[in-house]
Structure formats: C-alpha cells, structure tokens
Amino acid sequence: MDTLDAMRVFVAVVERNGFSAAAQALDLSTAGVTRQIAALEKRLSTRLLNRTTRRVSPTSTGAAYYAECVRLLAEFDALEARISAQALEPSGRLRINAPVSYGIARLGPLLAGYRARYPQVELDLSLSDRLVDMVEEGYDVAIRITRQPGPALIARKLADAQISLCAAPAYLDAHGRPQQPEDLSAHECLQYSYWGGGDAWQLQGPRGEVSVPVRGGVRANNGDVLREAAIAGMGIIVQPDFLVAEAIAEGRLERVLPAWAVPGIGIHAVYTSRSHLAPKVRSFIDYLVEALGG
C-alpha cells in the first residue's frame, strides 16, 4: 500500500462523507476505496472511520489523523511544486570550467548577458588550462578547445577556432622568414605545454599535411604568455586567432608561412550526461551557441 495514496483516499472519504463520493472524486472504484481504508486501518491498528448505513464519519483518532494528513499532503504537494518549478526554470549555482585565455578573451564578456536573461543562476567560473575531471571536481559544464572532446563526455560544438602561425616582424627580420614548413626546425619555436602534437607542429598546404619537429627555449601552459613572448621577439608561436588576431592587425605580429595552415580545432561545451540535463546547464550552452554564432 502506498501511504500517500492511502492518505489521499482517507481525506477524500472524510471530506465527502462516504466511500462512493470519494471513489467518484478520485476516479476509483468504491471497492478499491474500501480496500484502501481497510488496509490503512489495519496498518495503523486503529479504527479511523465510523460507518453507518447513512453516513461515514471519522472517529476521534480518525479526526486527529485527518488533520495531520491534510497538513502533510499540503507540504508534500508544495515540495513537489517547488522541485518541478526548479526543473523548468534555470536556477541555482552553475560551476563552469574554461581555459584561461579563452575565458578572458571570449567567455568573460558574455557572462553579463546570460545573467541578465537568467538572474536566478549563480555563475561560478574557474579558469584553468589543465584537463579537469568534471565529475570529481564538481563542474556542471566545461569549455574544451580540441578536435576530439573525449568519448566519456557529451559535447556540443560552439564555434571553430582558427589557428595562426606568427612571430614579431623584428624576430623575422633578424632570423629570416621561413619559406617551407621544414624551415621551422631552425627557428626558436615557443611551445604550448598542452599542445596535442607534442614537439611537432602539423601544417596543411600545397604538399598536403606535414609534421615538423620544433624546438625552442621557452615553453608555457598559457597562450597569453606565449603571445607576449612572441611580440617581444622571442620566437614563433602557434596560437588561436582569438589570442593573436588583434596583434596581427596592429602589426605587432606577422603571419608565418601564409600558404600553410595549422588545422583548426573546435570550441566545445562539454557535460557529463544527457539524461535529466539541468535547465541551468542547457540554458547556458544554448546561450553560448547563440552568442558565438555556432
């Protein structure tokens, strides 16, 4: 016997002064209502209702039980209503992880617009270039800039990231401008610690795809640091356009090997499960798709 269902049946019998009227209100059979009340009285080891041929009324114990049933059912219904409302309306704390440079350059400026649209969501943004464990560290959504987000995560692509090979004009004037990908091996190449290709850069161009081993005296786990090192004339970098496009437009950096391209990568929002996706997560990802133009 479901206790809540039995309580609802009992309340209906008391309020309608009979089994038949309660059965009609609850869309049950009279026999079914009778069985529910009998089972409830048996479980409680007490008589809850006085039954006559003309009417049904609660006993003194039944009257006290009725009052408590009404209170408990009202609280339960209010609890369900609150949970249902939260399941539909984005609210609560949303924990986000994103790479440092992308978080500053692209994600940060979008937060105000999201909060204006969904003021009940509290944003908790953590910037880190390391690959976090979303489940272990409790993140709801993460931004990954990669070709393959990983099979254990659900990914939605937000945009493409174009990658540029560039260096300061002063460095290229002093050390020469590479004419072929293989020339990179003779240059100072500033390397990103989390680069998926290790100590080799992959380029696509007139001869197809080429992998070139590179070396250099500077390695860092942050693209902003490498960009500033390149602007200072320390060597050649491979970094996404959202980090270097402005410096290129201003002439502080110059594209290297313009006939060759570094394969682009995707910017993805990733989360851990498709089932029961929280509205705060869904709304944030939808907002990013809209704001970043797909």
- What are the tens digits of pLDDT across the range 266-288? 999 999 876 668 889 999 999 99
Higher pLDDT, 152 or 12: 12
Would strands 49-51 and 92-98 be described as parallel, antiparallel, or unpaired? Answer: unpaired
- At 293 the pLDDT is 76
From the number of C-beta atoms within 10 Å of its C-beta (0-12, 13-18, 19+), residue 30 rates as middle
Indicate the pLDDT class of residue 85, thresholds 50, 70 and 90.
low
Backbone phi and psi for residue 101, each to the nearest 5 degrees, phi listed first: -65, -45
- Where residue 86 falls among pLDDT bands split at 50, 70, 90? low
Tell which residue, 121, 113, 110, 120, has the closest CA to residue 143.
Answer: 110
Distance separating alpha carbons of residues 127 and 280, to the nearest angstrom = 19
Rounded Cα distance between 186 and 293, Å, is 39
Give residue-wise pLDDT tens across range 161-204. 899 999 999 999 999 999 999 999 999 999 998 887 778 999 99
N-to-C CA span, the chain: 52
One-letter amino acid at 37 equals: I
Per-residue pLDDT reduced to its tens digit, 26-71: 999 999 999 999 999 999 999 999 988 778 999 999 999 999 999 9
- Mean pLDDT lowest among 14-28, 143-157, 251-265: 143-157
Q: pLDDT per residue over 111-160, tens digit each?
A: 999 999 999 999 999 999 888 888 889 999 999 988 877 777 889 999 88
Helix, strand, or coil here: 120?
Answer: coil
On whether the CB atoms of residues 96 and 67 are closer than 8 A, the answer is: no
d(CA 91, CA 82): 12
Mean pLDDT computed over every residue of the chain: 90
